[in-house]
Amino acid sequence: MSVAIGSVAEVASIKEALLLSKDVKKYAEAALKFNPNHSGANHVLGMWNFRIANLNFIQRTAANALFGGLPEGASNDNALKYLQKATQVQPDFILYWLDLALCQYENNQELVAIQSVKKAITLKIQTPDDAAHIVKCKELLQDWE
């Protein structure tokens, strides 16, 4: 459920996305209560933290005006923790490595981020989106090296 809501939140307006973000977090946390090793829920919570923690000034201002502030608890440290867990639980999933690399890079862990995209590039394509993820990883690698 949290993955589906998270997908909708990605393309929604800032208002809709912030409204949906509460459900994303709630359902992902519920999934982890039942199974702390649920890779999808760890990934969703990692990206929830990453996106909320890295909202731009306009988005933060909108959140303050519309909702009185941002959801509590979002941080890049939490994002890294959950994304690392997702890659540990399901180390063959390209998207998890790509998103971990983006978070690492944003957190001034450039060398580690490069290793993460290199890892992603070596993995077997499993989903219809993986080819595009590999292309993105190669582009990032070119930019970062």
The rounded average pLDDT for each run of 10 residues, N- to C-terminus, in the chain (145 residues) is: 46 64 84 95 94 83 73 88 98 98 96 98 97 98 95
Task: Tell me, yes or no, whether 14 and 54 share the same domain.
Answer: yes
Model pLDDT, residue 139:
98
Task: Tell me, yes or no, whether 26 and 46 share the same domain.
Answer: yes
Model pLDDT, residue 8:
42
Domain with 126 in it: 91-145
Tally of structural domains, the chain: 2
Using the 3D structure, point to which of 51, 79, 107 is the last residue of a domain: 79
Model pLDDT, residue 54:
86
Burial 11-25 (b: 16+ CB within 10 A, else e): eeebeebbebbebbb
Do the domain assignments include residue 101?
Answer: yes
Task: Tell me, yes or no, whether 111 and 42 share the same domain.
Answer: no
Task: Tell me, yes or no, whether 55 and 25 share the same domain.
Answer: yes
